[in-house]
Amino acid sequence: MFPPIQARSMQGETMAASSTRRAAGTGSSILVECCQVCGGTALRPVLFLGYLPPVNQMRNLGDRPAEQPSYPAAWLHCSHCELIQLGLIVDPAVLFPPEYPYSSGTTRILRENFAGLYQECREMMSLDATSLVLDIGSNDGTLLENFRKGGHRVHGIEPTLMGNLANERGIPTTMAFFTRDLAARMRTAHGPATVVTATNVFAHMEGIHEVVEGITSLMGERGVFISESHYVIDLIKTLQYDTIYHEHLRYYSLGSLRYLLGMHGLEVFHARRIQTHGGSIRVYAARAGDRPVRESVQELLKEEASRDLGGGGLETFKRRVVQSKLELHALLLDIKRRGGRIYGIGAPSRASTLIHYAGLDDGILECVLEVRGSHKIGKYMPGTLIPVVEESRLFEDQPEYAMLLSWHITGELVPKLRQKGYRGRYIVPLPSPAVLDG
Ligand SMILES: [Zn+2]
């Protein structure tokens, strides 16, 4: 079930082919011709969600629809290393403009998760004042803040303007895309790292081998690399097809992550599931043989094998995705026939995939609500005429239904909206469309 890991040099030819063409700098996109991890060409299409606009391109209210890019979202499965990946890579300059609005500090679940990561890491590694922690894709510095408060040296790397926020709060942050060259400069300037972290960015970066090489070069002899990624097994289990969009190039299982890291001489020695983003995995790796491999690794691998992604598991997933779309249509048709108004709650990136795949427009979803202060207010949802307005409208208008677009945190949202004064019913669009009374 788990293919032997081949060192990168053994696949030099194929790897070179896959790594020479890059979307970065093209201003557009390139097709994935071979697996981004193992270089294999046996890529099987398993799901196609249609053409999706970049989730962070939102026009201002009142602007007429004008020409706008959209990109095909095809899910491919590699039969060799088990990686699932998008069939198209879009230039990161298109997807992550400097004004990229995502801020990790604003989400409670993420803040708690990062505090937990720090605790776990401190117990495992006996960190001290000389320990250096580097975070790749450090956003506003929320994760590193925990390490800094613990008295350790920290440094962030972040390409978007969120790096300014981090610098202002005292987390030294280099504002740049992570490359091998940058890694070399960091190593010279700061010395070897005790811990390198990459949370929720490992699936986003093109040229993943260069990224892992850069990470390995930053790690001290006994350094540890910790990554957190959305977990493809949870995605499949709870039908989170709405997390498929072009920022997410790869959808990792522990097996495929282990394969990727193994190609660079790193060994996964511990892994655990965490709650962020509707189900993620936190994976610890060190230089091969440096640390005893914990049972957690085999346990998760065994569970992954039982899902049988290569042998029918993905076909079942596709059938369930289609079924849930049809069920959502049936539910919405019934509400609309009775004249019900539906407002959307929250405009996370994943809402855009749901809206486009399920074909929701401004005749179905009258508006989407965001809390005061959100920079998305005053814009249209990507590629639609559905306006994003301030949350207070929900309590003034009292529409009959509120559709939870961040449905993976339904349990957290419903009591909050109830308490704030919403009296209508809730539509939970996935995994199985349902109406809740709250
Ligand atoms: Zn592969």
Structure confidence by residue, pLDDT tens digits, 262-277: 999 999 999 999 988 8
CA of 215 to the centre of ligand 1 (A): 21
CA of 41 to the centre of ligand 1 (A): 8
Instruction: Give dist(CA 190, CA 95) in Å, integer.
Output: 30
Q: What is the pLDDT of residue 159?
A: 87
Residue that wins the pLDDT comparison between 211 and 57: 211
CA of 275 to the centre of ligand 1 (A): 27
Structure confidence by residue, pLDDT tens digits, 29-58: 999 999 999 999 999 999 999 999 998 889
CA of 82 to the centre of ligand 1 (A): 6
Instruction: Give dist(CA 158, CA 102) in Å, integer.
Output: 12
Instruction: Give dist(CA 261, CA 308) in Å, integer.
Output: 22
Q: What is the pLDDT of residue 202?
A: 87
Rounded to two decimals, the pTM is 0.90
Structure confidence by residue, pLDDT tens digits, 359-372: 999 999 999 999 99
The Cα-based distances of 4 to 44, 219, 255, 259, 336 in angstroms read 20, 25, 11, 8, 54
CA of 85 to the centre of ligand 1 (A): 9
Structure confidence by residue, pLDDT tens digits, 238-261: 999 999 999 999 999 999 999 999
State which amino acid sits at residue 297. V
Taking residue 218's Cβ as centre, other Cβ atoms within 10 Å add up to 25
CA of 348 to the centre of ligand 1 (A): 30
**Protein residues near ligand 1, an ion, with CB under 5 A:** 35, 37-38, 40, 78, 80-81, 83
CA of 284 to the centre of ligand 1 (A): 21
Question: What is the separation of C-alpha 304 from the centre of its chain, rounded to a whole number of angstroms?
Answer: 20
CA of 259 to the centre of ligand 1 (A): 9
With a cut of 90, say whether residue 21 has pLDDT above it.
Answer: no
CA of 36 to the centre of ligand 1 (A): 7
CA of 234 to the centre of ligand 1 (A): 20
Structure confidence by residue, pLDDT tens digits, 114-156: 999 999 999 999 899 999 999 999 999 999 999 999 999 999 9
